[in-house]
């Protein structure tokens, strides 16, 4: 579901950028509707203190003109943010505690069924959890409140992913890797209250055999050390404003989550208007996509104002910007036919790029086109650097899923591309305003601590699934690299319940709810099919969630 909806959203976004409801369609010879100007050119250390993005029409180059387009310019900031430690939830589970629940003793729905097998732990197993409507439910009587590792003994084709639910609510997923016999398939760090619980498996991929689940005291729980991130960026030449922002992020990590939202038009978006009107609060982290600046998009007349919206969000609204890149293929490598138009060429089906050949030196032309596009994107990001705007930069996301062209390859090829981009943008183009957010979602794809500032994960758990996904958080905290890094929920469908996020010690730095359909319905009204209005309002007004009005002055945050 996630990929399908994101495809629709991205296609609509690309069409909007190409036809430009605000900028007009096909006016390639006209001056862009907005440009950026700064009062000082010092790579962002003090640049842009009084700068605004003036419209092309000079009479709108005033504070009133900016307000008319983007809304009121923020002038007041929270200078009394409570940064005292927020205690982690303690676990009452004694070391060495273990409980085994046999699958064949559970309840079955759909085609799920039990079978005898003397070699299995209880003499039997369950299969037939294959398609919608199939489910295995196991009942566990838990003695102690606290954190548990759920170790499912499963067998199936390598890489099969399926859902785990506790009391009917998805808490994470498990990946089966052994096709020969039942092997460990863990989901760790799940908080359970003492009492009876139903632990279920439902199909995501399906076709998995289940022997049992071993419930034991969490072996590697989240501790205070997992939130003790040094405020040092991987780029030693990061500019002052970027270092100030990163220091703020490190200071609040583990104490708060930042409300985040994708909204293609920033403060001019329906998301901003509707969420603010309904909850009384506005998101702190604005997610935007720079796909429209790709050379493959520009070849088809695409125009974008993402840089202008990013500028406004930081300089005028006082917020934080996250940029992702649905990187459309270079023109010569886009399928651009039938069901695969150019604006979907970031998907592997719409692309002719073979990243293994490109990064192994077998396709020099393809390599040069990718490097040209990185140069092109660096020039766009340099506009924000020169205007003093720090950016949470999240390229090459969700690679291990394999649905984008940059993930349709061996991990080594992806890592080479990541490092080439990092090197060009950091050292060649001197982009001192980037905080590098890696979102590859598998340790095998991790490029290394030296080029990653923040770890990100994208979770689309389903309709009204507000759990903290603490198993995924623990996995990222302990199995990716050697250094302690900030962990963020870089994309999500349903907003997590902040009470569960804090209680489960899975304190994602920020969330980033995708737009249509996860937030808006056809861009007109808030869609409660994923997040209820009640939960949305609760989250935006929660004492442990920071919204736009609660941010300090990030430009002058103390180092």
- Look at residue 289 and give its three-state secondary structure: strand
Distance CA 456, CA 326 (A): 16
Which residue, chain included where needed, has tokens 């506790």? 166
Instruction: Provide the total of helices (H) and of strands (E) in the chain, helices listed first.
Output: 12, 23
Cβ-Cβ contacts under 8 Å for 223 (sequence gap 6 or more): 88
Question: 174 and 137 in contact (C-beta within 8 Å)?
Answer: no
Instruction: Categorise residue 522: left if φ over 0, alpha if ψ from -120 to 50, beta otherwise.
Output: left
Which two structure tokens, joined as six digits, stand for 61? 């180059």
Residue 491 annotated among the catalytic residues of the structure: yes
Residue 76 annotated among the catalytic residues of the structure: no
Cβ-Cβ contacts under 8 Å for 236 (sequence gap 6 or more): none
From the list 104, 240, 265, 398, the catalytic residue is 398
Residue 362 burial (C-beta neighbours within 10 Å; 0-12, 13-18, 19+): exposed
Cβ-Cβ contacts under 8 Å for 228 (sequence gap 6 or more): 484
Which two structure tokens, joined as six digits, stand for 273? 């208007």
DSSP states along 524-543: TEE-TTTS-HHHHHHHHT-T
Beta bridge partners of 216: 98, 149
Distance CA 226, CA 97 (A): 24
From the list 491, 529, 534, 543, the catalytic residue is 491
Distance CA 240, CA 220 (A): 36
- Cis ω for the linkage preceding 517 (within 30 of 0): yes
107-133 in b/e burial notation, b at 16+ Cβ within 10 A? ebebebebeeeeebbeebbbbbbbeee
Residues with a catalytic annotation lie at 398, 491
């Amino acid at each position: 579901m996630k990929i399908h909806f994101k495809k629709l959203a991205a296609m609509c976004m690309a069409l909007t950028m190409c036809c430009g409801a605000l900028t007009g369609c096909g006016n390639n010879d006209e001056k862009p509707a907005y440009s950026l100007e700064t009062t000082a050119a010092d790579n962002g250390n003090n640049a842009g203190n009084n700068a605004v993005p003036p419209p092309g029409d000079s009479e709108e180059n005033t504070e009133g003109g900016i307000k008319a387009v983007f809304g009121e310019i923020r002038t007041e900031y929270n200078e009394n943010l409570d940064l005292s430690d927020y205690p982690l939830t303690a676990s009452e589970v004694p070391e060495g505690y273990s409980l085994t629940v046999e699958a064949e003793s559970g309840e079955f729905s759909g085609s799920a069924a039990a079978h005898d097998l003397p070699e299995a732990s209880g003499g039997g197993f369950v299969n037939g959890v294959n398609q919608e409507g199939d489910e295995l439910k196991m009942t566990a009587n838990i003695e102690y409140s606290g954190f548990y590792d759920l170790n499912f003994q499963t067998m199936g084709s390598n890489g099969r992913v399926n859902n785990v639910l506790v009391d009917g609510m998805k808490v994470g997923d498990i990946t089966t890797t052994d096709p020969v016999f039942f092997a460990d398939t863990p989901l760790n760090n799940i908080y359970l209250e003492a009492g009876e619980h139903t632990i279920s498996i439902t199909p995501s991929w399906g076709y998995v055999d289940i022997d049992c689940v071993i419930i034991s005291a969490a072996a590697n729980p989240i501790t205070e050390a997992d939130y003790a991130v040094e405020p040092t960026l991987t780029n030693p030449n990061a500019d002052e404003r970027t270092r100030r922002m990163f220091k703020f992020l490190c200071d609040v990590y583990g104490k708060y989550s930042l409300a985040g939202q994708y909204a293609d038009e920033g403060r001019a978006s329906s998301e901003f208007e509707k969420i603010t009107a309904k909850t009384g609060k506005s998101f702190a982290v604005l997610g935007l996509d720079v796909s429209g600046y790709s050379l493959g998009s520009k070849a088809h007349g695409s125009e974008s104002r993402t840089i202008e919206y990013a500028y406004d969000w930081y300089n005028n609204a006082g917020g934080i910007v996250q940029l992702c890149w649905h990187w459309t293929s270079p023109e010569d490598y886009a399928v651009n036919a039938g069901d695969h138009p150019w604006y979907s060429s970031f998907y592997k089906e719409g692309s002719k790029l073979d990243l293994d050949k490109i990064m192994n030196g077998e396709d020099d032309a393809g390599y040069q086109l990718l490097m040209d596009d990185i140069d092109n994107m660096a020039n766009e990001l340099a506009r924000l650097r020169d205007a003093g705007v720090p950016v949470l930069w999240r390229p090459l996301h969700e690679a291990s899923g394999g649905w984008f062209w940059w993930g349709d390859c061996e991990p080594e090829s992806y890592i080479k591309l990541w490092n080439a981009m990092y090197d060009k943008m950091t050292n060649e183009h001197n982009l001192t305003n980037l905080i590098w957010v890696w979102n590859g979602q598998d340790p095998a794809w991790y490029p290394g601590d030296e080029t990653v500032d923040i770890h990100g994960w994208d979770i689309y758990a389903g309709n009204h699934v507000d759990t903290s996904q603490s198993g995924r958080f623990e996995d990222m905290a302990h199995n990716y690299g050697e250094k302690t890094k900030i962990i963020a929920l870089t994309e999500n469908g349903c907003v997590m319940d902040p009470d569960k996020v804090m209680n489960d010690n899975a304190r994602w730095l920020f969330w980033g709810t995708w737009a249509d359909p996860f937030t808006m319905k056809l861009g007109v009204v808030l869609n409660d099919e994923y997040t209820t209005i009640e939960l949305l309002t609760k989250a935006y007004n929660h004492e442990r969630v920071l919204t736009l009005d609660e941010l300090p002055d990030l430009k002058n945050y103390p180092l």
